[in-house]
């Protein structure tokens, strides 16, 4: 729902007297439920309602979208209290985001909108050539989905738009799961060129939006280590690191994942890039497969593990760090002397220091010593909002292991 759909004047929501307005003024985009006056009037607002946010002294801070049922009760849309939040406003935000991506990439395959960092809170848009996937992960985005899709078409010219409504964030906003084609049609996976490799992205049934564009620079770094190497890609999804390694000249790559459909897409990608003969897959639990490979005496020149978010929240942090340590402990013995180990985390709750320490402990417990040679992050099409640490979620550590 946009501002032009609402009666005037807009409802007003107000920070509690002791709430810190300075963070909001300096760019922090969220108001938590314990920071807002939640009287009966505020609690009655429909999820996604636009409102004017004021501080405890009734000074305007900007326009927010309100969801009384969410821990993040208000999200800043525009710091101009006179702004008109309509399709034109959305199109201007998408156009600004697109200008950055067009400067970064020669082909239209990238994260087009990265939520708060691009001024569209809770909105993820990934572009796959003439198709795009929208994740409306906040109540306001769900209500404004028609305007989002129309503005996206207007700015980019995409002909197919998919709504992916299967994220954990939607559940926290009280939104249902739903994945549908909004415009156009899909007749199968989309071929995505990246780092010299070809990936097959399932925009309807794959993980997230179908492909992880955020790992692009880390794939490229791994490919530099992979020349002539035997490569093991664990938690491979559709072949992320393995196919990049083959494009970089790897002698062979083995992809391990629990999903048979994902591995089938990885095989299609390897075939599309003429590397099918150097590519193999192994379906199964990653931890069990790492143990089995060690028992078989397998060794690789480059091992990369890119697991799902083991620590998606602060409550899961301790267990998540133990899981990252276990991955490192099981993977390290599979690396040939002088070879390389890449370990990744997409858990925003596990910061870089905690993840690095867990990885180092695991390598040591695996009987190996290593040099940390590279630390990678998400690509620049996943910009970070400096005031919001959650936008700096991806870490990739590359070690060279001794004998």
Which CATH number belongs to the domain containing residue 9 in this structure?
A: 2.30.130.10
User: Could you read off the pLDDT tens digit of each residue along the chain, which spans 403 residues?
Assistant: 455 454 458 999 999 988 888 889 999 999 999 999 999 999 999 999 999 999 999 999 999 999 999 999 999 999 999 999 999 999 999 999 999 999 999 999 999 999 999 999 999 999 999 999 999 999 999 999 999 999 999 999 999 999 999 888 898 899 999 999 999 999 999 999 999 999 999 999 877 889 999 999 999 999 999 999 999 999 999 999 999 999 999 999 999 999 999 999 999 999 999 999 999 999 999 999 999 999 999 999 999 999 999 998 889 999 999 999 999 999 999 999 999 999 999 998 999 999 999 999 999 999 999 999 999 999 999 999 999 988 889 999 999 998 6
**Whether residues 106 and 207 fall in one domain:** no
pLDDT confidence of residue 38: 94
Q: Residue 229, Cβ neighbours under 10 Å: how many?
A: 23
3-state DSSP call for residue 337? strand
- Is 346 a residue of the active site? yes
Residues 164 and 234 in one domain: no
Do 172 and 250 belong together in one domain?
no
Residue 9: cis peptide before it, omega within 30 degrees of 0? yes
CA dist., res. 280 & res. 331, Å (int): 18
Pick the catalytic residue: 77, 331, 346, 349?
A: 346
Do 139 and 36 sit in the same domain of this protein? no
Give yes or no: residues 279 and 368 share one domain: yes
Same domain assignment for residues 256 and 313? yes
Q: Answer yes or no: do 236 and 262 share one domain.
A: yes
**Do the beta carbons of residue 4 and residue 362 sit within 8 Å?**
no
* 59: Cβ contacts below 8 Å, ≥ 6 apart: none
Last residue of a domain, one of 36, 56, 78: 78
Tally of domains in the chain: 3
218 shares its domain with 173:
no
Same domain, 374 and 291: yes
Domain boundary among 117, 148, 183: 183
| One domain for residues 49 and 117 | no
Query: For residue 39, what are the domain limits?
Result: 3-78
Neighbours of 334 (CB within 10 A): 22
- Do residues 349 and 311 both lie within one domain? yes
Pair (308, 387) in one structural domain: yes
Its pTM surpasses 0.85: yes
User: Of the candidates 136, 151, 183, which is a domain's last residue?
Assistant: 183
């Amino acid at each position: 729902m946009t501002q032009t759909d609402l009666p005037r004047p807009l409802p007003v929501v107000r920070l509690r007297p002791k709430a810190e307005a300075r963070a909001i003024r300096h760019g922090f985009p969220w108001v938590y439920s314990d920071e807002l006056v939640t009287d009966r009037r505020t609690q009655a607002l429909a999820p996604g309602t636009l409102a004017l946010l004021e501080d405890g002294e009734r000074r305007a801070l900007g326009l927010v979208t309100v969801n009384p049922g969410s821990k993040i009760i208000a999200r800043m849309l525009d710091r101009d209290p006179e702004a008109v939040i309509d399709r034109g406003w959305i199109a201007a935000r998408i156009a600004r985001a697109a200008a950055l991506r067009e400067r970064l990439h020669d082909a239209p395959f990238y994260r087009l909108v990265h939520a708060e960092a691009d001024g569209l809170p809770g909105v993820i848009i990934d572009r796959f050539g003439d198709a795009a996937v929208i994740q409306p992960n906040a109540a306001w985005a769900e209500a404004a989905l028609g305007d989002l899709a129309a503005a996206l078409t207007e700015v980019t010219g995409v002909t197919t738009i998919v709504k992916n409504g299967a994220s954990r964030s939607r559940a926290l906003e009280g939104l249902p799961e739903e994945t549908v084609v909004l415009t156009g049609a899909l007749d199968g996976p989309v071929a995505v060129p990246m780092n010299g490799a070809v990936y097959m992205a399932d925009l309807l049934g794959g993980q997230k939006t179908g492909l992880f564009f955020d790992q692009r620079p880390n794939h490229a770094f791994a490919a530099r280590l992979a020349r002539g190497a035997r490569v093991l890609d664990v938690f491979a999804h559709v072949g992320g690191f393995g196919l990049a390694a083959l494009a970089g000249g790897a002698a062979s790559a083995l992809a391990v994942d629990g999903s048979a459909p994902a591995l089938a897409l990885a095989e299609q990608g390897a075939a599309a890039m003429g590397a099918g003969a150097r590519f193999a897959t192994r379906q199964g639990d990653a931890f069990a497969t790492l143990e089995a490979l060690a028992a078989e005496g397998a060794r690789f020149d480059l091992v990369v593990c890119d697991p799902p978010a083991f620590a998606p929240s602060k409550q899961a942090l301790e267990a998540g760090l133990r899981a990252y340590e276990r991955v490192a402990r099981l993977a390290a013995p599979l690396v040939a002397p002088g070879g390389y180990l890449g370990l990744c985390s997409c858990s925003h709750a596990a910061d870089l220091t905690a993840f690095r320490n867990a990885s180092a402990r695991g390598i040591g417990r695996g009987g190996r010593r290593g040099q940390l040679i590279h630390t990678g992050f998400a690509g620049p099409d996943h910009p970070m909002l400096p005031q919001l640490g959650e936008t700096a979620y991806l870490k990739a550590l590359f070690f060279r292991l001794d004998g």
